[in-house]
Amino acid sequence: MSDEIPGLDLSRLAALRSGVVGVRISYEQELGSTMDEAHRLAEEGATEGLVVIAEQQTKGRGRFERTWISTPGLDLTFSVLLRPAADQLRMVNMAATMAVQDTALALTNKGAVIKWPNDVLVSGRKLSGILVESVTSPSGGLQYAVIGVGLNVNLRPDERPEIRDIATSLAQESGADLDRTAVLIDVLARLDEYYAAIRVGQDLSERWAERLDTIGRYVDVNWGGRTVSGRATGVDRDGNLLIESEGQITTVVAGEVTLRRAPGNR
């Protein structure tokens, strides 16, 4: 492993070692998936806070096993290993999405928002996708969680016709190319702060709910082989989406959200 990565400066990441997130950095030019590598190292007993970074993933995945498109040397794809208590797991996704959103707000001065459950959007386009996977023991106890983050930093969506209409990047929204090392440090430091809050018993649910652009909107959610439609009225303490339709509330645990017009609007 090289001490320096083209476009990334590993020596600067040493500043993260005072916390939990970033206590160890594993970098590869190419991996099948940072998620899979983090799982492998977790099974070998890796300490929480491990961050696995890859310039290129040959089998990178997002939610619903979709492929995450990222450009080596321009963007960031990484995974973070955490070992929260079982009752803290529900807030890991909240911490990750808010950390990325905070970084986007600081660097673009634009209204970065969270689309339930784990996308960060700017100008209505996807800036970052976040995936959380957890592993339990045979007895049912939580062993660990892995957060996967794909973050468009210096991507030029106009050069990628397959995503140009749905994706954006920090560079596009800020008007200038950015230092990827600084961006990575900022996201990880913010994640560490949120995780520290979780570990001492703080509940992030209300703070996270206030940041969801989905709340108050009319949506279709493809979930469990069916579509749930209605107005997203809020989330419960576990982060599940509450959808009201014809006076009934449906609790949606996961799914693909599509915004739609309010009834009666054309």
Q: What is the pLDDT along the chain (266 residues), one digit of tens a residue?
A: 444 445 688 899 988 888 999 999 999 999 999 999 999 999 999 999 999 999 998 876 555 456 667 788 899 999 999 999 999 999 999 999 999 999 999 999 889 999 999 999 999 999 999 999 999 988 889 999 999 999 999 999 888 888 889 999 999 999 999 999 999 999 999 999 999 999 999 999 999 999 999 999 999 998 778 899 999 999 999 999 999 998 899 999 988 898 877 675 54
- CA dihedral over 200, 208, 187, 219, signed as positive or negative: positive
| Residue 168 identity | T
Q: Which CATH class is domain 4-210?
A: alpha beta
- The neighbour count for residue 265, using CB atoms within 10 Å, is 7
**Domain chopping of the chain, boundaries:** 4-210, 218-259
Q: Active-site positions?
A: 63, 126, 260
| Residue 140 identity | G
pTM above 0.85, yes or no: yes
Residue 213's closest CA among 191, 235, 190, 229?
235
Q: State the Cα–Cα distance between residues 215 and 232, nearest whole angstrom.
A: 5
Give the CATH fold of the 218-259 domain: SH3 type barrels. (2.30.30)
